Structure 1
Amino acid sequence: MDGNGRWAKQRFLPRAVGHQRGVEAVRRVVRRAGELGLDALTLYAFSTENWRRPEDEISALMGLLKRFLVSELDEIAGNGVRLRVIGDHTAFGDELKDLIDGALARTATNTGLNLVIALNYGSQDEIARAAARAAAVGPVTPETIEAHLDTAGLPPLDLLIRTSGEVRLSNFLLWQAAYAEMLFVDVLWPDFGAGHLDAALSEFAARERRFGGR
């Protein structure tokens, strides 16, 4: 979900406004994903590298996450969405951690869309942790590493979308993206909506997936 800051800069607005509009885009996309019957939607909300940003921007992002959980949880739970988190959200302080834990518990038995939020997440760190856990219990193989990833139990990653025109993965789902289709779009995240998701899925459906075969 890239481009919040540039969206705000283009309009001579504070970066925090861009992040606020980014939350509105999250709302649109989550609703559309549920309508389409997708199994899982993973959103990269806060990376391990994002701690390098200015303190006031980090504080604003944490505040937006709190407000999102408070304002959207009833709708998320009511629509059968199961919330999951990858990464280490315990680093965000007790108040936010408790909000997240409460949301996870409330939606744990839902059977609709798996809404996965990547929080304090970095894929290299995830792979290292998974390999260490695999080594602690037996031989290290691709299968044992995968079983210990944060995404264990989720469907395989089919399509990875990055907004804003940047063409890189930025430490996101590196292992899971091994055979995923990738789509890089020029739209800044605050402008991304249901129609853009529909178009992405249409392009995905038109691609031939060979998984290393001919």
Structure 2
Amino acid sequence: MTSTRWNHNIHYHRLILDAVPAAARTALDVGTGNGLLAAELHQNIPVVTAIDADAEVLDSARQEDSGVEWVLGDVLTYPFEPESFDAVVSVATLHHFPNLAQALSRLANLTAPGGVLAAVGLARSTRPTDFIRDVVGVVEHRRHKRRFGEWVHTAPVVWPPPHSYTEVRRAASAVLPGVIWTRLAMWRYALVWNKPTAKSLTEDFR
């Protein structure tokens, strides 16, 4: 259980879980890594699929929950049916995609109407406000690490992130109209986007 483990990514699992609709029946965890978020999702969502391109880390993830459908593959090319997931989520995955707009478009395409796309990601600091947040992140990191220790995942690491916070926000706003963007402490940001239903789109054009 993740309650006995802590790191920057696990710290923000609750943000993802709270964004998922209560009525969600299907979920996709993109870049599942060691599988902790997928296992947490499966506690409340009947059908959870988790995909990762790294076979070794996926073997580790399978130990978390045998009821999750663990998929080895690239989410950009894997033949998922469009609009087949009530929730599409990711933590510390988007910076692995060089073309962020392409990745966001793909995840939006997999999200069912009325569903949610929720992601916590990493980016580079380039503005004064970013660096102020980084200082806050250092303080938060030290406080939580003293209290919980730090669990080290075994998923592949990409550092530094290829995109700045400004670039991520611009790409998300362009691809996901109405997206809610939040700059987080501990070198993270959050994106939450609720995909419109056909009915809401019709109402918008009245």
TM range (shorter): 0.3 to 0.5
Higher strand share: 2
Q: Which structure carries more helix by proportion? A: 1
TM-score, normalised by the number of residues in structure 1? 0.37
Higher relative contact order (CA 8 A, sep 6+): 1
Q: Which has the larger radius of gyration?
A: 1
